[in-house]
Amino acid sequence: MPDKRKAYAPFSLITESGVSNAPVEGYIDVNQEIQPIVSTGTVNENGTWVGVKSSDSEFINFQKDVAIANGGEVISNNSISTYGYSKINLALQVSRTGDYFFETITAGDVDERYFNLYPISTAASLKSTIRTDSGTNVFSSIVSDQETIGYADVWLIYQINDIGNFKFKFKITNQSGGASDIQLAIQRLV
């Protein structure tokens, strides 16, 4: 709502006009307007527009693979970019109770880039440094869990922390002892 008010100035309008013998003090009209502002991002140091990230409000990238044999693998169809995110919720639903092996692998197909790199090694285990007091295994798989139990016909949600700024796919291996349908979906969190 626009509004006008008088504001004190250390000079008069006459002095501002260039008349030297005018009084020193005076009041001027000031336009005052209040407007709501919504910040949707900034321009970064490279001159690129960077929007403000927000968590996914629902699970995305749903995928269902049917009758995956024991020892068979499922690789997520879509690359997952966590640039600007810090966590991932992985939802898993299987048709057979048992063990399932999770791993993050480099995203990409033969024609896909990893950010600005091409070609990349596809389906390689995604690794990062983690703190180790023993000094061994400096690079470790980001997600590599061989003892995850899936329960039949219900969604289980696994939260993966500290996974920001990667581009990857999930590889899930059926170790349940028999064929199983495997459904998965993800949710990215800031």
CATH code: domain of residue 130: 2.60.120.680
pLDDT, tens digit, for every residue of 62-74? 999 999 999 999 9
If asked whether residues 83 and 163 sit together in one domain, one would say yes
| Average pLDDT over all residues of the chain | 81
Report the distance separating Cα 181 and Cα 183, nearest Å.
7
If asked whether residues 167 and 96 sit together in one domain, one would say yes
- The arithmetic mean of pLDDT across residues 1-14, rounded, is 61
How confident is the model at residue 93, as a pLDDT? 95
Cβ-based neighbours of 51, under 8 Å, separated by 6 or more: 40, 41
Range name among 81-95, 102-116, 150-164 with the lowest pLDDT average: 102-116
List beta partners, residue 152.
94
How confident is the model at residue 98, as a pLDDT? 92
Given a contact cutoff of 8 angstroms between Cβ atoms, the answer to whether 186 and 61 are in contact is yes
If asked whether residues 14 and 108 sit together in one domain, one would say no
If asked whether residues 80 and 126 sit together in one domain, one would say yes
Q: How far apart are the first and last CA of the chain?
A: 35
How confident is the model at residue 118, as a pLDDT? 77
If asked whether residues 172 and 84 sit together in one domain, one would say yes
How confident is the model at residue 10, as a pLDDT? 59
**Number of domains within the chain:** 2
The beta strand positions in the chain, using DSSP E, are: 3-9, 26-32, 41-43, 49-51, 60-68, 73-75, 80-81, 87-94, 98-106, 127-129, 139-141, 144-150, 155-160, 167-175, 180-189
How confident is the model at residue 162, as a pLDDT? 83
Q: Please report which confidence band the pLDDT of residue 119 belongs to, taking 50, 70 and 90 as the band edges.
A: confident
For the question of whether the overall pTM of this predicted structure is more than 0.75, the answer is: no
If asked whether residues 76 and 169 sit together in one domain, one would say yes
If asked whether residues 81 and 169 sit together in one domain, one would say yes
Q: Which two tokens stand for residue 49?
A: 């527009």
Q: Which domain holds residue 105?
A: 59-189
If asked whether residues 63 and 107 sit together in one domain, one would say yes
How confident is the model at residue 134, as a pLDDT? 59
Whether 51 is covered by a domain: the verdict is no
If asked whether residues 81 and 145 sit together in one domain, one would say yes
Residue 80 or 7, more confident: 80
pLDDT at 46 over 80: yes
Q: Please report which confidence band the pLDDT of residue 136 belongs to, taking 50, 70 and 90 as the band edges.
A: low
pLDDT at 127 over 60: yes
If asked whether residues 87 and 181 sit together in one domain, one would say yes
- The arithmetic mean of pLDDT across residues 169-183, rounded, is 93
Report the distance separating Cα 156 and Cα 89, nearest Å.
10
